[in-house]
Chain A
Amino acid sequence: IAGITQAPTSQILAAGRRMTLRCTQDMRHNAMYWYRQDLGLGLRLIHYSNTAGTTGKGEVPDGYSVSRANTDDFPLTLASAVPSQTSVYFCASSASAGAGNEQFFGPGTRLTVL
């Protein structure tokens, strides 16, 4: 693999179900991010990790959790999905959390919660 991969590509989920979105990068980047993108709104940060073993809350963390057990993987879990979590989810990474470092994005997961 090269870059960032996300799985699944798309998913339809019943409300109340638990769901984990997977994200893996092979660039040895220290920092990783989860965003959601909704029509008419900018990308909104859900959670981030500046380095393996640490995580932080972004702008819209409620209803989501993350873990960063190693450098490569950064899964996002919805404990009990609700319809307002219908969105496109992007995972991103950067070499570090420093100022000039661009973020590289995965292809996204389109999630529909019914």
Chain B
Amino acid sequence: GQNIDQPTEMTATEGAIVQINCTYQTSGFNGLFWYQQHAGEAPTFLSYNVLDGLEEKGRFSSFLSRSKGYSYLLLKELQMKDSASYLCAVRDSNYQLIWGAGTKLIIKP
């Protein structure tokens, strides 16, 4: 079967750095996405990785290792508004997105 694993919840301090991990087992691989979802709102796109390595976009970076079936999202200089769920999704061989259950990130002052 297909499986995406992420930690259920993480807590971090304002101004700090946090790394959210995602491991996957899917039928084929055509890219990995990270989305942010604030409570009661729709998911919004953060990043896309299809090749191994690090993609940096401002305070957010995303890393991919296809051989390990592993990705992480790195958030720097945490702000209170970063409190949200972070969703990892893999596009499989049918070009459909398989979603993890999400990681709820709690930021404390």
Contacts and interface: CB of A to CB of B under 8 A. Distances in A.
B12 interface: no
B96 A43 contact: no
A42 B87 CA distance: 8
A42 B50 contact: no
A99 B31 CA distance: 7
B48 A102 contact: yes
Contacts of A100: 31, 48, 50
B44 A42 contact: no
Chain A CB count within 10 A is highest, among B4, B42, B95, for: B42
Interface in A99-114: 99-100, 102-108
A97 B48 contact: no
Interface in B14-51: 30-31, 33, 41-45, 48, 50
Chain B CB count within 10 A is highest, among A40, A43, A103, for: A43
B91 interface: yes
Contact count band on A: 20 to 34
Interface residues of B, number: 22
A105 B15 CA distance: 29
Interface in A79-114: 90, 97-100, 102-108
B42 A90 contact: yes
A9 to B, nearest CB: 11
Contacts of B31: 99-100
Interface of A: 40-45, 48, 58, 90, 97-100, 102-108
Interface of B: 4, 30-31, 33, 41-45, 48, 50, 87, 89, 91, 95-102
28 contacts: A42-B87, A42-B98, A42-B99, A42-B100, A43-B43, A43-B87, A43-B89, A43-B99, A44-B99, A45-B96, A45-B97, A48-B96, A58-B96, A90-B42, A90-B43, A97-B95, A99-B31, A99-B50, A100-B31, A102-B33, A102-B45, A102-B48, A103-B97, A105-B42, A105-B44, A107-B41, A107-B42, A108-B42
